[in-house]
Amino acid sequence: MTKVPFDRDAAAARVATLLLDIQAVHFNAQTPYIFTSGWASPVYIDCRKVISFLDARREIIALGAAQLSNVIDIDAVDYIAGGETAGISYAAWLSETLSKPMLYVRKKPKGFGRNARIEGSFPEGARVLLVEDLATDGASKVSFADALREAGAEVSDVFSVFFYGIYPESAQILGDAGLSLHALCTWRDVLAEARRRESFAPEVLAEVESFLAQPAVWSAAHGGATARSTASA
Q: What is the mean pLDDT of residues 177-199?
A: 95
pLDDT, one tens digit per residue, over 110-133 is: 876 667 899 999 999 999 999 999
**What's the CA gap between 89 and 110, in Å, rounded?**
20
pLDDT band at residue 23 under the 50/70/90 scheme: very high
pLDDT band at residue 199 under the 50/70/90 scheme: confident
pLDDT mean across residues, the chain? 91
Q: What is the pLDDT of residue 227?
A: 63
Q: What is the pLDDT of residue 29?
A: 80
pLDDT band at residue 168 under the 50/70/90 scheme: confident
**What's the CA gap between 180 and 129, in Å, rounded?**
10
**Is it the case that residue 169 has pLDDT exceeding 80?**
yes
For residue 142, the cross-strand partners are none
Residue type, 165: G
From residue 51, how far is each of 16, 32, 90, 163 by CA, in Å?
A: 16, 26, 9, 18
From residue 119, how far is each of 114, 124, 152, 172 by CA, in Å?
A: 11, 15, 13, 29
In CATH, the architecture of 8-221 is: 3-Layer(aba) Sandwich (3.40)
